[in-house]
Structures are given as C-alpha cells and as structure tokens.
Structure 1
C-alpha cells in the first residue's frame, strides 16, 4: 500500500453513461490510457477519444451475448496485483499483465428493469456478473487502485487528481472502496429480494436491506443520538421524493411524523378535501370538509393543544385560504400534492415552516415490506394495507347503524388504522373529535379520548362535548365491556371494532342495553 498511487491506466465500463465522455476526456488530458468495453468504448471513440478495447487486452472477444468479456486474468490481475509485492510484480511481467489503476464501473440496471415490470428471463439477463467481480477486486486492492461506482463521484475524482499531481491518496481510495462494497451489497440485495418474491419465498433463509443516503441528520430522536435518512430507490409519491420549497432541514422526528401524516392522508385520495394533523407520529386531528380550509379547521378543533408544533398533511394542493389558517399557529411541516403561487407566497413569510410538495398521494394498497430492529435481529412483515371491503361489516347489535353513522364508522376505522395501539377514535360528521393512543389499557384510551374531547368543548365554548352523537373505532376488540360503556357514557351511538373476544357476547349485550349500533370488521389494525 502506498499513500499516493499514480494513475496511468483506467478501465471504464458503465451502463449509465452520463458524464462518461467528460470524465474520459479529463483523464486522457492527464495522460491516462483508457480501456473500455462494448457501448462505452463506442461512445468514447465517437467523441474522438483514443480507447483500447478490453478484448484487445485479453486476446478474447466478447462472447455469449456479452456475458463473458472482463472475466480474465489480464483484467483481474491488473486490478488485484500488489504493486509493492515482488512476487506479484514478477507474475505480472511473466504473463504480460499491465496494472489498472482506476476502475470506473456502474452496473446493469437491474433495479430499474424490475421496476419496469420485466419478466423473469429479462430480469435474469440484467444481473451483472463481470461488473461486481471487477468492483470487488478493485475495492479489495484499494491500497493501489481507485474504484468509482457512482456518477456523483466523477467530480470528486478529478478534484483529487488535481490536488495530488495526478495521483490518488489512500484515504480517498478507501472511501471509494467502502462505497463500492456498499453498492455491490445493495445490488445483490435487490437481486435476492426480487428472486425471493419471484419464486414465492415469503421468508427466505437470508435477507438483507439496502438504501442510499439522502440526508445526514443533525441528530436522531434525541440530541445524543446520531442519525441519517436513507431512501430505497422507489419513485412513488411520498416524503423521500418530495420537493422541499422552504424551511429548515428536516429532523429525524420531522421525517418520521411527516411520513405518518402523509400515509394517513393518502387513505383519502378519492374523498372530499381532507386534512391530517400529526403529533409524535399519532394523528391528533383528521377531517374532511367542503374545502381544504374547512377540513383543516375541523381537524384543528379536534385537539388544538396538540396541533401546536405539529405536522399537517393535505390531500389536495395547498390553497391560499388554508395557508393563511395554518400560519396562525406554529406548524413544523406541511406536506401536500402541490401548492398555489399565492399559498407559497403566504408561507414564504414563515421562514422556519417547511413546505413539502409531492407528485401525488401514495397508494395505500401497494405491497411493501416493513421491518423493525430488535436485539440480535429484526422483525419483517408486510405493510398493513388492509382496507374494508364494501360488504365487510357485520352488524352484531340489535340496532343497525344509520347511513350517517355508517359513513362515520368507516372514516373512524380508517383513522384508527394509523393510531398507535391501543387506539380509540371518536368521529362525527367526517371529523375526529377525540383520539386516544398508545395506552396499555383500551379503556384508558377510551377515557383519554373522551376527556380530550370534553376539554376542547370547554375551550371552544360548546354546549356539549362533540362526542355526543359520535361513533367510535377501536383498532382491536374490546376485551371487556368497560371500554364500550365508557364510550357510551361519552355520548357515542355506534361502535366499529374487529370482534373476536372471548367476551364478545358480553360486549354486544352492553351495546344493546344502551341502544348502540355495533359492527365487526373481522380485521385488526394493531400499530406499535
């Protein structure tokens, strides 16, 4: 290993050819000999650069539809040889192997091919073999060889050469090697994950996850924790692909809460204008309305105290009236599928308010994998995409819900899906009026939600708590009748819950005794 390694010969073989000609021209101007393959070589020649084919170097043509072209001792020997090892140097001289000091490779676009819906055989043909082999070889020998796998690193490479008289430093090569191994690991992860899905293997023996750094965060949930934000390459509408128009850099908690708000508001893609306000990953107000401004006002009135410093998500482009309403209190983040020029101008006066614009709403039915780290491993599951089918509800009480109650029950159930368990949600006329989240006892969640509704009634000067005439959603069954009785005492008239408790008969009897309508979904929505 040497601190500064000269750069006399480079092998360039890429699928993504952005910036390749400019890089090659800059290398050639520094006296670097260029080796290349296939389409990369043709592109460089067409640009007037002198390029030597790898086939000329190895003495073998590309064969088997390009499957075999770089798997040769004159390539891998040139990458792996230790320049300061006499035995390696002697072997190079004996077999006519010239050193390769720089490898520039990016891989067959396997991820993009799969994302485009390619069939099995096409996906298999887009698994790169020679590229990862060369990358790993060059990265292993980073004591002497520089390896570049990202177009984003081209400028850094040229700056490194300028700063070191056409050489690369060991520290720089080591950073490139780490990036290279992360890239091949992510590539293999993409292949293995796709193949597990393709063959129907729900729980493969070995599983890995990969991501690309999007942002280094100031800290994690708390200032003493380091954190970073990684994306998975998906182009779906959402936080990872949102455009931030203004405001400070997002924090760890901002990202977590904004994602929770966007996921919930996306459930209302086909509904009337809707607004979700989230605080600490739980919705503290959700509502629909005749306009976005009305929906925001109704969501805000569910829990004005918790809404302070919260996250607002909208299912329509932000308009001026809604923007003015939002800026009346301190709000951390607003995320919406667009914003009018007037709304943008209103927000511009609030420099610390982050405005994120997305290309649309997420599809809450799209399958995805969720994982949670635990001591010594991680849990993996499908994302909760469960939704109520039109005929899914089973009326179990003597009284069936009215049409108004039924609409509110469906609304409440959708919201409860996104509330931390134990979750209780009171709703009335398409708006939440009380939310109880994250309690160890379901009856405590029921009481907390009712108490918060009563507190808001007092603050707003209402004659009665808004839970009067409301409906209630419970994310899991009532294990005892006490939670249902508490909801009835708060004024609820209808209940939606999964059912399935050993005491369902007792709970149903309590509902009938109080004239409540109750429906079972047969589906649970625990969220931890």
Structure 2
C-alpha cells in the first residue's frame, strides 16, 4: 500500500449538498477531473466548475428514474482496480477504464423519510443501491482510493491535498474506509429494521447502528470508556436537545436525563404542569400542579434528600419562578420542552447546571426497541408503552375506589412503569409521597417507601407522613398479603396492582379486612 496516493479523478454524487461547492473548487484547484450525476453535477456547474457526467463515461444514460446510473463496470472497475497490479492495469487499458481516486457519496435520506412517516412506496424509493455499492468498492480499495460519506470529512481531505501536493495519506484513506463501512452498515440496519416492522417479523439477524454524538470522558465509572451515539430517529429527548449552558453531559447524566424525560413525557401538557425528579434512573419525586413551580415543589417534597444532585424534567416550558425554586438546591440537569427568557437569566447564574430544551415531549406511545446486552448476545424487546384507563380496571374488593382515589391510582400506575422492580409507589393528590425501588422483596419496597415518607414528614415538621390517605401502586402482583398490610399500616386507602398471584384471594381478603379498595390491571410493569 503506498503511503501517499494522488487524487486525479473524483466522482461526486450526494443528496446533501452541504460543502459540495467548496470541496469541488478545492479539487479543481489541484487539477482533479470531476465526474458527477444529476443534481450534484448541476450544483457544481452552477458554481462554474467543469464536470463530466457519469453517463458520458459509461456510455449509458441514467435510466429507470435514476435507479441505474453508476452500476457499471467502468465505474466499479475504476474504483476496484489495484494500481500496482499489472493484470488490473492491463484490464483497465483494454476496456478503457479510467481510475477513480476519490468517491464522495452521501446516501438517499432513508432514515429521514421513515422519520417523517412517509408511505411505503416512498420509503422504498429512498433505499439507495448505487451509493452503497460505490462506497463499498472504494472502501475495499482504500490502499489507493479515498471514500467520503460524511460532510464533516471534507475538510480533512482538502487539508491533506494541500499539505501533500494533491495526494492523501494511507492513514486518512484507512480511516475514511472504516467510516464508510460503518455508514453502509448503519444504513442497512435502518432498512432492515424498518422492513422487519413492516412484515411484523422477528428477524433471523438483527443489527443496530448509530452516529457518534459525543465522546464521553468515561462511562458509569472513571475506569470505563464510553461514547454516546444517536439512532437517527430525531425523537425529542436528550439525544436531540439543545444544551444552553453547563459542562458536557456525562454517561450517567445522559442515562438519568433520558429516564426523567421519558417519565414526564407520559403527562401531556394539556393535562397541566408535571415534574419528575430522577436520581440514579429512579424517580424520587413526581407530581402535577396548577403551576409548574407547584408541580416542582410537590415533587421535591416527596424526597428532598434524594433530589439533591438529581435530574429534573418538566412537561411544559420552564419559567422564571420555577427556575428560582430549582436554584435553591444543587441540580445536575434540567430538561424541558422550552425555557423562557426569565428562566434562562436565572440559570445563567448557575454555571454548573445543565439546561436542555427539546422543543416538544417524547411520544410515550411510539414503538421502539429496547436492547440489553448479555454474555454472548443481547435481548431485544418492544419498549413498554402499556397504558391502563379506568375502563380497564377490575375492582376486586368490597369497597370501590372513590373518584379521587382512581385518579391517584392511575397516576401511581403511570409512575410505576418507570421505577425499577420491585416497585412500590405511594401517591396522594397527584403527587408521589413515597417511592420504593429496586428491592429483592416487594414488602421491603413497601416499607422503604413508607419509611422515607416518615422521614420527610419529620424533616418538614408535618404532624403525620403524607402516606396517610394515599394510594399505592405495585408494578407486579403482591405474592403475599404482607406488602398490602404494610401499605395499610402506612395509611394507604387504595391499591392498584396487576393481580394474578396464586394467593390473590388471600390478598383481597386482607384488603377487605382493612377496608381498602383495590383494583387489578391485568398488566404488569417490570423494569429491571
């Protein structure tokens, strides 16, 4: 492989015209012959550059609505020929094939077409064929050929041509080839994932692709390397948010901010302000309110200790009054659909606080895949988008819940979906008042949540913990009556749970004896 290889001839065919003219002029300045197709050729000519159509080189016109234009031996022979192989050079001479030393291709916008909800036929037309073929040919022959698939790499190519008298280094060509193969792999991943959804299949082979968004200083712990990749769906959230201030997000910041935003996105803005406070991926307070500052304050009052250094997510625009309240303690990240000028001014004084705005909430009902790595493979499942309405509930006790209890039960059930199992959530008047998460025993989660409520009552000088008169949600069934009895002792008056235990009758009897109302959902929300 030569350390340096000259660029004498380039083929440019791009859907994204960003930086195209500047690149074309730089290549022309080094005497590079430009080959191109369609709109790319038009854009280059309009900039005053001399461009030869690929059809002129191949002897075949673009046909079949552009489906066939670069799939030709003259193109791929020019890309794949080894310049130091006598047989290859002889074949090039015999068949009048000129070498192509640089390919600049970015693919049809398949991912963007899917993201906008296009019809099936339009999506199919945006599956690029010739582009990936040229990319792979050029990348295979990176000993001699440069392949560029990202506009971000134009500058590196131009710089090398300037520094090396119209040549590029092997190190650059090798790096470009790796980027190229990753791009075609991610592209094929997007296509195969979309196709799997169309045929409702469990694919024999499953791939995942992403684009580097951020190299992280480290992962969950300082000895772990990490990076953040986006999947191209442009779903509102931490991956697409605008950061207004503060240092770079860490691995744990990104993970926790995503958890917070996914939870608060369950609450539509039309239903009023809502706030979720997250610590280590679990909510330590979730609440609604008449105003955003009230929602924040009520969420904060669930567990003021754990909220320190937490992540705050809001379902409506952050205002100045709420920003002032949040500024009362140390907070890592605040994420919201927007922030007004007053809020921005308040947070400007908190240089270490990161503020993210998303211009909308995540679609809590959108179909997504959840992936978890295991030794030797990975598990794939649909994201949990299960919802329960009042009509889905089955009253199993002698006493039915009141309207207020029903509202709180459904609120608690929504929060339970976002709490690590075993999950127990106490709720009163649209706010969590106790959260028990991640315990090996469900009764332990029930006790911990009640104990934390007791601690908060003492810290706030309340006569009794807020669990008095609350309702309780359990993400899975109570296997024994002890958890329910513990909740009743903490002051709970109603419970919501999936049901389905062998001891359901025993649990229902205990609820009746305690005068509790209980409803079954027939759905569980394990979150491991």
Instruction: Quickly name the TM-score band, shorter chain normalised.
Output: over 0.9
Q: Could you say what secondary structure the match of 1:27 adopts? A: helix
SS in 2 for 1:229: strand
Superposed CA offset, 1:453-483 (max 9, x none):
1111111111111111111000000000000
**Corresponding residue SS for 1:391:** helix
Corresponding residue for residue 106 of structure 2: 106
Q: Structure 1 residue 39: deviation in Å?
A: 2.2
Q: Note if contact 2:428-2:466 (Cα within 8 Å) is conserved in structure 1.
A: yes
- Cα pair 2:115 2:234 within 8 Å, conserved: no
**Residue 498 (structure 1) aligned with residue 498 (structure 2):** yes
Per-residue CA deviations over 1:277-320 (Å, capped at 9, x if unaligned) read 10000000111112111111111111111111000111111111
1:306 counterpart = 2:312:
no
Displacement of 1:213: 0.7
> 1:5 — aligned with what?
5
Deviation at 1:152, TM superposition (A): 1.8
Paired residue secondary structure (1:240):
coil
Correspondence list, 1:413-452, <5 A: 413-452=413-452
Distance 2:316 2:62 in 1: 54
Partner of 1:239: 238
Please tell me whether residue 30 in structure 1 is matched to residue 30 in structure 2. yes
Q: Offset at 1:500?
A: 0.8
- CA distance in 1 between counterparts of 2:253 and 2:516 reads 40
Is 1:210 aligned with 2:209? yes
Displacement after TM superposition at 1:430 (Å)? 1.0
CA distance in 1, matches of 2:481, 2:395: 17
Structure 1 unmatched runs, 5+: none
Aligned to 1:281: 281
C-alpha deviations, 1:43-73, integer Å up to 9, x for none?
Answer: 2223221111111112222223322221222
Cα distance in 2 for residues equivalent to 1:118 and 1:360: 21
Cα distance in 2, alignment partners of residues 126 and 459 from structure 1: 60
Aligned to 1:52: 52
* Structure 1 partner of 2:258: 259
Report the equivalent of 1:372: 372
Q: Distance in 2 between matches of 1:129 and 1:449?
A: 56
Instruction: Find the aligned partners of 2:319 and 2:63 in 1 and give their Cα distance.
Output: 60
Residue 343 in 1 paired to residue 333 in 2?
Answer: no
CA distance in 1, matches of 2:478, 2:487: 11
CA–CA distance in structure 2, aligned partners of residues 459 and 450 of structure 1: 14
Is this contact kept in 1: 2:389–2:410, CA < 8 A? no
Aligned to 1:296: 296
Q: Give the match for residue 95 of structure 1.
A: 95
More deviation, 335-344/122-131: 122-131
Compute the displacement of 1:231 (Å): 0.6
Aligned counterparts of 2:295 and 2:122: Cα–Cα separation in 1: 48
Residue-by-residue CA offset, 1:305-360 (whole Å, 9 max, x unaligned):
11110001111111111111111111100001111211111111111000001111
Corresponding residue number in structure 1 for 2:526:
526
What residue number does 1:467 align with?
467
* Compared CA separation, residues 417 and 65, structure 1 to 2 (3 A): same
**Partner of residue 324, structure 2:** 324
Q: Secondary structure at the match of 2:335?
A: strand
Partner secondary structure for residue 243 of structure 2: strand
d(CA) in 2 for partners of 1:117, 1:444: 45
Structure 2: segments with no counterpart, 5+ residues: none
RMSD across aligned positions (CA): 1.2
Instruction: Classify the secondary structure of the residue corresponding to 2:271.
Output: coil
Classify the secondary structure of the residue corresponding to 1:268: coil
With structure 1 as the length reference, what TM-score do the two structures score? 0.98
**Please, which moves more after superposition, 444-453 or 188-197?**
188-197
Equivalent in the alignment of 1:221: 220
Deviation, structure 1 residue 37: 1.5
CA distance in 2, matches of 1:333, 1:409: 29
CA distance, structure 2, for counterparts of residue 118 and residue 453 of structure 1? 49
Aligned to 1:117: 117
